[in-house]
Amino acid sequence: MKFTWMKWSALPVAVLMAGSVAMAQDQSSSGGQQPAATPAPAATPAPAPAEKPKPTIAQRKENQQDRIANGVQSGQLTAGETANLEKKEAAINKETAADRAANDGKLTGAEKKQINGQQNQVSKQIYADKHNAKTQHYGNNKVDQRRENQQDRIAQGIKSGQLTPGETAKLENQQKGINKQVAADRKANGGTLTASEKKQVNKEQNGASKNIYHKKHNAKTQPQAQPKQ
């Protein structure tokens, strides 16, 4: 009876020892180390953003004309300010055409730099004129509505390229003269216009209207910049 108890009590000890030996063999066969984790692939660096190409001379010119047209239509630019800006644009265009004619239709690096410098100055002038205290006010009367209509037609002609800077300068000078006359007449009459003054202003605007139409439909146009292929 005593021998039987000792035999069964020794059995768990033997099982435990066998398990320990098997574990030791597993550790020795694997070198006692856990499998190394697979390294994560290196992150691919994001590509640098492409540098925005500089606008061409033609694109720069078109951009300036669009800014002037917006100022005319919004009333931020008066007729006098517009005429002055368009005279400067006309001078730059004339210089550009002369440079191209002398170089088989091309511009040298120095000429491009010179033109861009001049356009920078005009750009600053456009901004200053559009943000100063002078604005083109239109009242709720036939004279001012007619004046606003003329400015809208001029602005549309600038945007479409139907009006060159030189043509625009002449049209705006004409509007400037009419506006000056209206202001003087109103000042002399307590802020109003007499019937004869209204008739005179309307007649002058009829002449200006014909000029706008002819200049928008003649052979002279402002070349629009084409995107690079």
Beta carbons within 8 Å of 147's beta carbon, 6+ residues apart: 138, 175, 178, 179, 182, 205
Other beta carbons within 10 angstroms of residue 27's beta carbon come to: 11
Other beta carbons within 10 angstroms of residue 184's beta carbon come to: 11
Q: How far apart are the first and last CA of the chain?
A: 106
Give residue 229's pLDDT.
Answer: 34
CA angle (86 as vertex; 83, 90 as ends), nearest 5:
135
d(CA 139, CA 201): 15
Burial of 81 from C-beta contacts in 10 A (0-12 / 13-18 / 19+): buried
For the CA atoms of 125, 127, 129, 134, the dihedral, rounded to the nearest 10 degrees, stands at -170
Distances (CA, A) of 137 to 7, 67, 73, 151, 156: 117, 19, 11, 11, 19
Q: Flag whether pLDDT at 23 surpasses 70.
A: no
pLDDT, one tens digit per residue, over 175-187 is 999 999 999 999 9
Average pLDDT of the residues in 184-199 = 96
pLDDT, one tens digit per residue, over 109-162 is 999 999 999 999 999 999 999 999 999 888 889 999 999 999 999 999 999 999
d(CA 171, CA 148): 14
Give residue 95's pLDDT.
Answer: 96
d(CA 78, CA 174): 12
Other beta carbons within 10 angstroms of residue 87's beta carbon come to: 16
d(CA 58, CA 228): 11
From 72, 169, 167, select the one nearest 126 (Cα to Cα): 72
- What mean pLDDT, rounded, does the chain reach? 85
More confident residue, 15 or 49: 49
Q: Flag whether pLDDT at 97 surpasses 60.
A: yes
What is the pTM (predicted TM-score) of this model? 0.74
Give residue 40's pLDDT.
Answer: 65
More confident residue, 24 or 141: 141
